[in-house]
Structure 1
């Protein structure tokens, strides 16, 4: 079995965990409006290693959330994971950010689990999963309106993620719960351990984040 360092930076939550043989040893995380991942990620890694009582050199793999999500957050997380994997000569694993959210709602009696990561305004990154976590549709960027998910009427649904709450009113015609949470590295543990066991490693040299959409720089508010 393996000791795995998990990094989750796809949203406002900067999250680091270490697990051994599928069991959590330590987690350090903080959700910050300022997206301070660049300043905090490596500090959180140091704290997590200390809390777990291990040496960073003794982990077997680095697992990172690959996206979709914040362009900057993903770039920081993936760059750090690749740097650690290369520098320590460790295996690199990755997980779709939506699958991390799905882990929090497995086998709770829902027909469908629909993770939502906020993509600003009424747009979200999303996909459909069944109640056991099996993926039913591909990941997409979706603008939510009054006609969204009409075909799912009659199903017991949970929308989960930092994009869920803003959709509650417009999707109130559905039999659904809306759970506003961020993806967390502690919810990566089962998948990362399984991927390590089945040798689903990434190529450190060529691996890139799953941005889904091209980055669009915002205009500085001081510009005229």
Structure 2
């Protein structure tokens, strides 16, 4: 059973989880409005290990949320993960930030889950998943317009989840649009994804791995 340290730093939520066999055994996070990663990330790493009565030498791997998200947050998380992996000579695992966010969704009454992270102005990072968390459309950066996501909304109820959902809430006027605006990516949902990758040795090159910044935005043409 793998013991994996999971680091999530793509948004203001500085989140650290310790998982064994895909199950979270310790979690520490701060969902404040400000970025505190530089000050708190290593404190939280020490805290979850202490809670589980374990040390860094017990770890079988380190997982990091690969993005997209805050440039500074991503750099801090990835640098910390790589440093631990170098020092301990253990695997580095990168998990899909938006898939982990989608896994927070209440799927009881929706057909489609659309995790959305705030980027800037009227822009978001998004992906599209079904209720089994199968990816229907990969991660894109896009400018939000009134006709965004019309295909998905026409086909059934959609849950927009993440801090980018607040922007959509004011623009998408559709009965099938539902919003979970308070959700932020958390290391809790990373545990299952990291364990699955560890089992098949789907790991990163510690020396060359870089976060997924996704800087380019797509401008969609209005159908009006």
State whether TM-score is above 0.5.
Answer: yes
The structural deviation recorded for 1:120 is 1.8
1:37 equivalent in structure 2: 37
Q: Does 2:164 align with 1:163?
A: yes
Q: Does residue 192 of the first structure (1) align with residue 188 of the second (2)?
A: no
Q: How many angstroms does 1:151 deviate by? A: 1.8
Unaligned runs of 5+ in 1: 215-224
Query: Are 1:173 and 2:174 an aligned pair?
Result: yes
Structure 1 residue 136: Cα displacement: 1.2
The alignment covers a number of residue pairs equal to 214
> What corresponds to 2:219 in structure 1?
none
- Cα offset, 1:174, TM superposition: 4.3
Deviations 1:68-95 (A, max 9, x none): 0000000000000000011111110011
Q: How far does residue 31 in structure 1 lie from its aligned partner after superposition?
A: 2.1
Choose 116-125 or 2-11, whichever is displaced more: 116-125
Query: Within 1, Cα distance between the matches of 2:206 and 2:119?
Result: 27
- Displacement of 1:138 in angstroms is 1.9
- Is the contact between residue 111 and residue 156 of structure 1 (CA under 8 Å) also seen in structure 2? yes
User: How far apart in 2 are the matches of 1:106 and 1:21?
Assistant: 24
Give the C-alpha shift of residue 107 in structure 1. 4.5
RMSD across aligned positions (CA): 1.3
Q: Deviations over 1:107-142 (max 9, x none)?
A: 534211100011022111001111111111121111
- The alignment's TM-score, normalised by the length of structure 1, stands at 0.92
What secondary structure, in the 3-state scheme, does the structure 1 residue paired with 2:19 have?
strand
